C-alpha cells in the first residue's frame, strides 16, 4: 500500500518557504448517564496513617478512556476485570474530570498540578514544558525516590519536557511510515516497566506508566478483538490485561501491599456524541469525565465510592501527601478535604482549594462520602490552533456547567448529564457570573515558563500520522480569549472533520486523486483550515505536484 511520505515534504517545502508548522490533537467519547453508580455507605473514621516508609507509588494513565466503559463505573459486560478488582481494594472517584481533552496538556496537568494557563502547555506538539515549572518527579527524586516513566505514544516524547525528574523516560517508539501511528502496545510498555522495577531492586520508587491503546484507530490484538463487538471496548480489555500483568508483577516482587496505585485517564472519547467522533474539539462530559481510582494499602479503606468533584489537577498533591513528601514552594497545593494543615504534610500552610489549585484527595473527613465542592476548569484550544476556529473553556460549579465558546452553552449537569438542554438563553445572569470567573481563570498566563517547540520534519510526520496539525501559538490573557471567541464555532464546522478524515483514509490507501479532491472541498468550505492545507501540501508532494504542494503550504503558513 502506498503511503504518504510527509517526512519528505516538510524538509523540502518548509525549508523552501522558510517557516515552521505547528501541531495539535483530535480523536473519537463518555455517556455520562450510561450508569452512574451511587456513593456507598459513609466512610468510617480512619486515622491518616501515612507511612514514611511506604515503598513507592505507581501512576497508570490509560489514554482516551471513558469512565463509563469500565465495569466499576457501570459498563456491562465489563471489559475491565483487573481494573474493577483494583477498584474494589481502594477508592473510586465518581465525578473525576480532565482539564484538557488532549494527551500532552492533560498529562502536564497530572504531573505538575498546574492548569495549562500556568504551564503554558495548551496543545500537542508545539509546546515544551519550561524549566521553571516544578514537576512531581523532580520533587520525589529529591526526596530519594527513583523515578521511571514509560509511555506509549510520541505525543509524550521527552522532547516535550515531561521527562524532568525521571532517571528513565522510556519513549523508544517503533519507526513507522507516514500516516502510521507512532505508538507501542500496552504489553511492550508494561514489559519495559517491569524490567526497570527488577533493575532498581529494593529502592523506593515512583513509576509512571502510560498506555495508549484505547486511542483511535481501535484495533485491539487477538484474542481481545474477537471477544468484543465494540472495538473500543476490545482496546480497553487489552489495556486492562496489561494493567493486570503489572499488578501481578508487583505482587510477585512482594510490593503489592507496600506501594500505592492510581489509575486514571487523560480524557474520554465522544464516540459520536454531540457530533464528535473522537475528542479534542468539544468540552462535553463525554471527553471530560474520566476514571480515577486510588489504592493505598493501610491508608485508604477498600470499596469506597466517593462523589464530588475530583480533578486531574489534584493528582500530584495527592501523591505527595500519600507518600508523606513535602510539596515544593512552586507546586500549588490546596488544603485536603479533611481541612487541617497538619494533615496536608506541607511546609507551607495550604491555601483554600480553588479552581486553579490542586488539593489532595485524601484524607477524607470522617463519615464523608463526597468531596467538598470546588470549581472545575477545562479547556481545549485544538480547534483554534489547527482550524482557526474558536477554542473552548469550561467551568463546572455546583452542578452547573458553562462552556465558553463562540456560542456559549450553560447546562444543569446534575439534572441533564447528557447536556441536551442549553440554559444559556434562560439564565443570562447566571451565565454572566460564571463567565467572569471562567475568563479570569483561562486568561491567567504562565507563558514565561514555557518553551515553544519548533517541530522538525520528524515531529510533523508523527503528528500528522495521528491526525494532528496546527497553526501558531497564541498569546495569553483575557483579550486573546475574547478574540478567539469571535472565530467560527466548532459546532458549526464539525461535519467538515468527517470529510477530512475520509480524505486521510483515501490517502492512506493510495487514492491521492480522491484524497486531494476531498481536501480541496474542505478548504473551499473552510479557507482557514490549517490542517487541511498542510495535509494537501503533503498529498500533492507525494503525487509529484511540487507547485501545488508549495502553494498549499504557503497558504497554511499565512493563516
pLDDT at position 424, please? 96
**Cβ burial, residue 41 (10 Å; 0-12/13-18/19+):** exposed
The conformation of residue 154, written as its DSSP 8-state character, comes to G
| Contact call for residues 155 and 215 (beta carbons, < 8 A) | no
Strands (E), 151-270: 168-170, 205-211, 259-264
Report whether 336 contacts 330 (CB < 8 A).
no
Predicted pLDDT of residue 479? 72
Residues of the chain with pLDDT under 70: 1-53, 175-181, 327-353, 365-367, 443-478
pLDDT tens string 463-481: 544 445 444 454 455 577 8
- Cα–Cα dist 16/39, whole Å: 60
Beta bridge partners of 357: 354
Q: What is the pLDDT of residue 179?
A: 53
Domain annotation covers residue 429:
yes
Residue 115 lies inside a defined structural domain of this protein: yes
Please, what sign has the CA dihedral across residues 362, 364, 370, 376? Answer: negative
- Give the structural domain span for 470: 1-32+53-492
pLDDT of residue 340: 33
Helix axes 494-508, 512-525, angle to 10 degrees: 160
Nearest to 6 by CA among 551, 557, 538: 538
Residue 166 Cα distances to 136, 145, 155, 508, 530, angstroms = 10, 10, 17, 37, 35
- How far is Cα 365 from Cα 406, in angstroms, rounded to an integer? 41
Q: Are 519 and 499 in contact, with CB atoms under 8 Å apart? A: no
Number of domains in the chain: 1
Instruction: Supply 417's cell numbers.
Output: 448529564
C-alpha cell belonging to residue 161? 519536557
What are the tens digits of pLDDT across the range 79-127? 999 999 999 999 999 999 999 999 999 999 999 999 998 999 999 988 9
What's the rounded Cα separation, in Å, for the pair 518 and 498?
A: 10
- Count Cβ atoms below 10 Å from residue 217 Cβ, excluding itself: 12
Within 13 A of 128's CA, how many CA atoms are on the CB side?
15
Contact status, residue 343 vs residue 362, Cβ threshold 8 Å: no
Contact 269, 279 (CB under 8 A): yes
Residue 501 lies in a domain: no
358 CB contacts (<8 Å, ≥6 apart)? 113, 114, 311, 313, 314, 315, 316, 317, 318, 332, 333, 334
Q: Is residue 546 part of a domain?
A: no
Report the pLDDT value the prediction gives residue 335, as an integer from 0 to 100.
57
Three-state DSSP class for residue 170 = strand
Q: pTM, whole model, 2 decimals? A: 0.84
Nearest of 482, 462, 463 to residue 474 by alpha carbon: 482
Q: Which three cell numbers stand for residue 292?
A: 480515577
Domain-located, residue 500: no
CA 11 to chain centre: 30
Asked if residue 70 is part of any domain, the answer here is: yes
Distance CA 513, CA 539 (A): 9
* Cβ-Cβ contacts under 8 Å for 528 (sequence gap 6 or more): 387, 388, 389, 559
- 215 secondary structure, DSSP code: S
Q: Is the dihedral of CA 505, 507, 510, 511 positive or negative?
A: positive
What CATH number is attached to the domain comprising 366? 3.40.720.10
**Which of 113, 120, 206 shows the shortest CA–CA distance to 160?**
120
Please report the pLDDT score of residue 104 as a whole number: 97
Residue 69 belongs to a domain: yes
Amino acid at each position: 500500500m502506498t503511503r504518504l511520505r510527509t517526512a519528505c515534504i516538510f524538509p523540502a517545502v518548509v525549508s523552501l518557504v522558510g517557516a515552521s508548522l505547528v501541531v495539535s490533537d483530535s480523536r473519537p467519547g463518555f455517556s455520562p448517564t450510561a450508569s452512574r453508580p451511587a456513593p456507598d455507605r459513609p466512610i468510617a473514621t480512619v486515622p491518616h496513617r501515612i507511612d514514611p516508609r511506604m515503598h513507592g507509588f505507581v501512576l497508570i494513565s490509560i489514554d482516551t478512556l471513558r469512565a463509563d466503559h469500565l465495569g466499576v463505573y457501570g459498563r456491562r459486560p465489563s471489559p475491565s476485570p483487573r481494573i474493577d478488582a483494583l477498584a474494589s481494594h481502594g477508592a473510586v472517584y465518581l465525578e473525576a474530570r480532565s482539564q484538557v481533552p488532549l494527551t500532552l496538556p492533560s498529562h502536564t496537568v497530572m504531573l505538575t498540578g498546574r492548569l495549562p494557563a500556568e504551564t503554558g502547555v495548551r496543545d500537542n506538539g508545539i509546546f515544551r514544558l519550561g524549566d521553571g515549572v516544578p514537576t512531581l518527579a523532580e520533587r520525589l527524586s529529591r526526596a530519594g525516590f527513583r523515578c521511571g516513566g514509560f509511555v506509549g505514544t510520541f505525543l509524550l516524547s521527552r522532547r516535550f519536557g515531561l521527562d524532568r525528574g525521571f532517571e528513565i523516560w522510556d519513549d523508544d517508539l517503533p519507526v513507522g511510515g507516514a500516516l502510521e501511528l507512532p505508538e507501542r502496545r500496552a504489553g511492550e510498555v508494561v514489559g519495559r516497566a517491569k524490567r526497570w522495577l527488577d533493575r532498581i531492586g529494593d529502592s523506593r520508587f515512583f513509576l509512571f506508566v502510560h498506555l495508549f491503546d484505547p486511542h483511535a484507530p481501535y484495533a485491539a490484538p487477538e484474542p481481545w478483538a474477537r471477544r468484543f463487538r465494540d472495538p473500543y471496548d476490545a482496546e480497553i480489555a487489552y489495556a486492562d490485561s496489561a494493567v493486570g500483568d503489572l499488578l501481578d508483577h508487583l505482587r510477585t516482587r512482594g510490593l503489592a501491599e507496600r506501594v500505592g496505585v492510581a489509575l486514571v485517564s487523560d480524557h474520554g472519547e465522544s464516540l459520536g456524541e454531540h457530533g464528535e467522533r473522537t475528542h479534542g474539539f468539544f468540552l462535553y462530559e463525554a471527553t471530560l469525565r474520566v476514571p480515577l481510582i486510588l489504592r493505598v494499602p493501610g491508608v485508604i479503606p477498600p470499596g469506597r465510592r466517593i462523589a464530588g468533584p475530583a480533578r486531574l489537577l489534584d493528582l500530584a498533591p495527592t501523591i505527595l501527601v500519600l507518600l508523606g513528601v513535602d510539596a515544593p514552594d512552586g507546586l500549588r497545593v490546596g488544603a485536603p478535604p479533611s481541612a487541617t494543615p497538619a494533615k496536608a504534610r506541607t511546609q507551607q500552610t495550604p491555601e483554600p482549594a480553588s479552581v486553579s489549585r490542586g488539593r489532595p484527595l485524601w484524607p477524607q473527613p470522617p463519615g464523608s462520602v463526597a468531596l467538598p465542592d470546588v470549581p472545575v476548569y477545562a479547556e481545549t484550544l485544538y480547534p483554534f490552533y489547527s482550524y482557526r476556529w474558536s477554542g473552548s473553556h469550561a467551568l463546572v460549579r455546583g452542578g452547573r456547567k458553562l462552556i465558553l465558546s463562540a456560542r456559549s452553552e450553560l447546562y444543569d449537569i446534575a439534572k441533564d448529564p447528557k447536556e441536551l438542554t442549553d440554559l444559556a438563553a434562560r439564565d443570562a445572569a447566571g451565565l454572566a457570573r460564571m463567565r467572569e470567573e471562567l475568563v479570569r481563570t483561562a486568561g491567567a498566563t504562565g507563558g514565561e515558563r514555557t518553551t515553544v517547540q519548533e517541530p522538525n520534519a520528524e515531529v510533523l510526520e508523527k503528528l500528522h500520522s495521528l491526525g494532528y496539525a496546527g497553526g501558531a501559538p497564541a498569546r495569553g490573557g483575557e483579550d486573546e480569549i475574547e478574540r478567539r471567541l469571535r472565530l467560527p464555532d466548532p459546532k458549526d464546522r464539525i461535519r467538515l472533520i468527517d470529510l477530512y478524515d475520509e480524505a486521510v483514509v483515501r490517502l492512506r490507501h493510495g487514492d491521492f486523486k480522491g484524497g486531494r479532491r476531498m481536501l480541496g472541498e474542505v478548504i473551499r468550505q473552510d479557507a482557514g483550515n490549517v490542517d487541511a492545507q498542510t495535509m494537501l501540501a503533503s498529498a500533492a508532494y507525494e503525487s509529484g505536484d511540487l507547485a501545488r504542494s508549495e502553494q498549499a503550504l504557503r497558504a497554511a503558513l499565512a493563516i
